[in-house]
């Protein structure tokens, strides 16, 4: 195979040697009986990190989000979310299927939600409209270039919605923490419940964590079982998750630096996109281009693998499998690509 750099997703990361060793040595039990000490340790470690009472280990980020909707809503309720959030666009309609809720979508093109947009939808309850049960936010916002929320804005939103719960889709919350310098605890504080993925930039093979108040995590445990996500000797997986939390967070900074370098290259190669590389603050390079599918196809043929996430929107993601040498290679490919056009 000719040389290539795989920027399709940070889910492509491989477990590290330390993870494989921890997995081999993990003390395990049946988590269905609450008897896997490694799972319990992972859940407690995460809950402490994000400043919540309790946490639950689940097989995937989608399941964590779906559990959140299940525990925070009743059928027919409204969920406020950004129009391009994962929960809305990338979960195969699961919230409708699993929880019979409807979305009220607000503009999220700045990577964040505007407080007034959210309040308007809540206020519509006074005009005989359906009950708004929760607000969902995403940090970092994948679709809009991995944008981290401003924590002040998120706190403002939380105060404005009052008792109404906020669920934070923090698939890349660790990236947000590293990029903004805020603590995980501060980023999580405005949210009632949250989830974070271990299997993306942190390189664990499987798993996400859901966290919140003990009563909701208790309910989440039931929903996890209903969705078929209760696991047995899952400490094998949780052991890798612990290594991820303990050793893999700070290195995300490298992914961010490389993403910015790539962003500069793409902005130069595709000036017609109007892409501003300084908008790349974490590990996602994403921009709009009229020939997005064609670009992805042609770059893939030349060894830069990416993908489209919507018509006319391309995405390239950096991760632990990408080196500075790979960036040199990508730069060479993009330069020769430019000279062709």
- Report d(CA 301, CA 278) in Å as an integer: 27
Kindly write out the interface string for residues 69-88 of this chain, putting x where it contacts ligand PLP by CB under 6 A and - elsewhere: -----------------x--
- In the window 202-231, what residues touch ligand PLP (CB under 6 A)? 208
- In the window 135-154, what residues touch ligand PLP (CB under 6 A)? 138, 142
Q: Which residue has the tokens 């942190």?
A: 202
Kindly write out the interface string for residues 157-196 of this chain, putting x where it contacts ligand PLP by CB under 6 A and - elsewhere: ------------x-x-------------------------
In this complex, which beta carbon is closest to ligand PLP, that of residue 15 or of residue 61?
Answer: 61
Q: How many other CB atoms sit within 10 Å of the CB of residue 128?
A: 6
Write the DSSP string, 71-112.
Answer: HH--TT-EEEEETT-HHHHSSTTHHHHHH--EEEEE--TTSS
Query: Considering CB under 6 A, how many residues would be counted as binding ligand PLP?
Result: 12
Q: How many other CB atoms sit within 10 Å of the CB of residue 302?
A: 17
Choosing from 73, 193, 199, 282, the residue that interacts with ligand PLP (CB under 6 A) is 199
- Report d(CA 44, CA 112) in Å as an integer: 29
- In the window 248-307, what residues touch ligand PLP (CB under 6 A)? none
Alpha helices in the chain (DSSP H): 17-25, 37-50, 61-72, 86-89, 94-99, 115-123, 151-161, 173-180, 184-188, 214-226, 235-247, 252-269, 292-302, 324-340
In this complex, which beta carbon is closest to ligand PLP, that of residue 171 or of residue 269?
Answer: 171
- In the window 47-66, what residues touch ligand PLP (CB under 6 A)? 60-62, 65
We find the least distance from the C-beta atom of residue 312 to ligand PLP, in angstroms, to be: 20
89 binds ligand PLP (CB under 6 A): no
- Report d(CA 145, CA 142) in Å as an integer: 6
Contact set with ligand PLP (CB under 6 A): 60-62, 65, 86, 138, 142, 169, 171, 197, 199, 208
């Amino acid at each position: 195979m000719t040389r290539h750099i795989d920027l399709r997703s940070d889910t492509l990361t491989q477990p590290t040697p330390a993870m494989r060793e921890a997995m081999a040595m993990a003390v395990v039990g049946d988590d269905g009986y609450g008897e896997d000490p490694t799972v319990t340790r992972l859940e407690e470690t995460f809950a402490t990190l994000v400043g919540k009472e309790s946490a639950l280990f689940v097989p995937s980020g989608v399941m964590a989000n779906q559990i959140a909707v299940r525990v925070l809503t009743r059928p027919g309720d409204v969920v406020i979310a950004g129009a391009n959030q994962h929960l809305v666009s990338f979960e195969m309609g699961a919230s409708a299927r699993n929880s019979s809720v409807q979305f009220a979508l607000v503009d999220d093109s700045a990577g964040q939600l505007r407080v007034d947009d959210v309040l308007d939808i809540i206020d519509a309850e006074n005009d005989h409209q359906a009950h708004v049960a929760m607000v969902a936010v995403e940090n970092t916002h994948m679709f809009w270039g991995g944008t981290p929320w401003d924590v002040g804005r998120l706190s403002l939103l939380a105060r404005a919605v009052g008792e109404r719960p906020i669920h934070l889709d923090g698939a890349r919350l660790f990236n947000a923490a590293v990029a903004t310098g805020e603590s995980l605890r501060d980023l999580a504080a405005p949210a009632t419940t949250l989830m974070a993925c271990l299997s993306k930039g942190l390189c664990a093979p499987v798993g996400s964590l859901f966290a919140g108040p003990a009563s909701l995590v208790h309910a989440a445990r039931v929903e996890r079982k209903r969705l078929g996500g209760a696991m047995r000797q899952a400490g094998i997986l949780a052991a890798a998750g612990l290594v991820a939390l303990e050793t893999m967070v700070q290195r995300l900074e490298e992914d961010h630096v490389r993403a910015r370098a790539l962003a500069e290259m793409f902005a130069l190669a595709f000036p017609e996109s109007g892409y501003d590389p300084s908008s790349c603050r974490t590990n996602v390079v994403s921009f709009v281009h009229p020939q997005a599918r064609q670009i992805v196809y042609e770059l893939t043929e030349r060894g830069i693998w990416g993908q489209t996430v919507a018509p006319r929107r391309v995405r390239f993601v950096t991760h632990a499998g990408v080196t500075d040498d790979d960036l040199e290679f990508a730069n060479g490919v993009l330069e020769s690509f430019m000279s062709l056009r």
